[in-house]
Amino acid sequence: MSIEERTITILVKNEPGVLSRVAGVFSGRGYNIKTLCVAETTNPEISRITLTSNADADFTEKIKKQLDKLVDVVDVLDYTGERFLKREMMLIGLRITPDRYAELLQAVNTFGCRIIGMQPDYYIIETSGRRSENDAVFKYFQTFDVEMMNRTGSIALPRHPQKYSA
C-alpha cells in the first residue's frame, strides 16, 4: 500500500495527559507525527487534535482503532484526501532595508499576506494557505533576510458538513 501523508482529526476530552496518550499510540509503533494542532472546540470540555503522519491506509485503520480505545478519545476521523480542505499558517520575521520596502509590499499584496508586525528594520508577515502555497511564499521571502519563521500544522474541515459531522 502506498505511503502518503494522512490527516487525522481526533476529538478528545480536554484533560491533562491526553496529548501524551495520543502521541504514545504513534510513537509506540514507530510512526512520526509530522504536524500537530490542538485547540478547544466550541465545547470547552472537548479539544480537537489534528495531526498528519506519513503512512498507508492500513496503518491509518489500525491507528484509528487504537485511538478509539483510549478512554479520553471521543472520536477519530480520517481527513485524508480531496474531500477535505486543509490550511496551515506561517509567520515570517525578516530584516529589511529601506531600498527594498516597495518590493516587499508588492510581494505581500501579490501573495495575499498580511504585515502584522512592523519596525523600521524588521517586519513580521503572516500568510496562510495550503502547505505548498506557504512553501512557495516562504521561498520567495527567503530572497529577503529572514530572521525566523514559525508555521503551524494543518487544520482541516470536510467540504460537505452533512457527510462528515464533528
Measured from the CB atom, is 58 or 82 closer to another protein?
A: 58
Supply the minimum distance, in Å, between the C-beta of residue 78 and another protein: 15
For residue 128, what is its C-alpha cell?
Answer: 496562510
Contact region with another protein (CB under 8 A), list: 21-29, 84-92, 108-116, 147-155: 21-29
What separation in angstroms does the CA of 128 have from each of 11, 132, 152?
24, 10, 9
Lay out the site mask for another protein across 45-64 (x = CB under 8 A, - = otherwise): ----------------xx--
* Neighbour count for residue 144 (Cβ, 10 Å): 18
Supply the minimum distance, in Å, between the C-beta of residue 66 and another protein: 5
- The residue from 24, 81, 112, 117 that contacts another protein (CB under 8 A) is 24
Residue 26: CB partners within 8 Å, gap ≥ 6? 32, 33, 53, 63
- If one asks whether residue 21 binds another protein (CB under 8 A), the answer comes out as yes
- If one asks whether residue 68 binds another protein (CB under 8 A), the answer comes out as yes
Residue 10: CB partners within 8 Å, gap ≥ 6? 22, 48, 49, 50, 51, 67, 73, 75, 76, 77
- The residue from 30, 42, 44, 69 that contacts another protein (CB under 8 A) is 69
What separation in angstroms does the CA of 42 have from each of 33, 38, 72, 95?
25, 13, 17, 38
- If one asks whether residue 16 binds another protein (CB under 8 A), the answer comes out as yes
Chain contacts with another protein (rule: CB under 8 A)? 16-17, 20-21, 24, 28, 61-62, 65-66, 68-71
